[in-house]
Amino acid sequence: MAILRPEDISSSRRILEALGESVDEIKGYCCGQPAYNSGYRKEAQSVSRKMLRVTRPYETVVVPSGSCTSMVRTGIPKIFAGPRGLSITERTKAFFDFGEFVHSHPRLRELNFELTGTIAYHDSCHGRRELGITSKLIDLLEHINGLKLRRLPHEEECCGFGGAFTVKQPEVSVEIARTKLGEITETGAQILVSEDLSCLTHLQATAEGDGRKLETWTIAELLDRALNE
């Protein structure tokens, strides 16, 4: 995800440091999700093992992507069996989605977030179904003074991305995205916010292909714009 929008890393760092955290950035390591979703379990093991090894020194690992966090916490435990699998499963509990971590941080209420405007919120499948963090993210967004939040009528439905699905079934993927874009348009918001950059990338690309205007922000970018220091 950092390759697609590297500025989100800077936004994430700024918020975490404002909360008093010391931040080290880990670059160049994948969670293994692309291989896992395509059925290449051994390759997913190899890739995820390297990522787990390099993050081992850290007590907490914050991930600016719901789908990557979901892969670590729910996908990786499924591809390692035996005693080693148990230790790996325990290690994956140290990984948190960025919005989830910020929402639960004890110093969150010390920060002042203010931003005037209206946004629509897209709830990703990974965040909603596998991580179960929807209510936390909504509460975090409602913590921003002056912000009007518009939720979609069929919030629980997929945007059509689905990782490898968008490559294997592009026509279906795009039509699902168009349905979601129609609901976004009806909110009157010009900005779409989500914790998952993959969803935002898919929706923005579809919107641009159809000649629609849509600006997309991750939760990290939104909080960065709203932070008053």
For 18-56, how does the pLDDT look when each residue is reduced to its tens digit (9 = 90+)? 999 999 999 889 999 999 988 999 999 999 999 999 999
pLDDT value at position 124?
94
Q: Looking at the predicted structure, is the pLDDT value of residue 189 above 70? A: yes
Cα distance between the two ends of the chain? 27
H-helix or E-strand containing 112? strand 112-121
pLDDT value at position 84?
77
Q: What percent of the chain has pLDDT over 90?
A: 84
Q: Looking at the predicted structure, is the pLDDT value of residue 1 above 60? A: no
**Residue position matching structure tokens 């787990």:** 52
H-helix or E-strand containing 215? strand 215-218
For 96-131, how does the pLDDT look when each residue is reduced to its tens digit (9 = 90+)? 999 999 999 999 999 999 999 999 999 999 999 999
Bridge partner list, 149: 119
**Residue position matching structure tokens 């790996």:** 88
Domains and CATH numbers, the chain: 7-102 (no CATH), 110-228 (3.40.50.11810)
CA neighbor of 65 nearest in space, from 170, 161, 207: 161
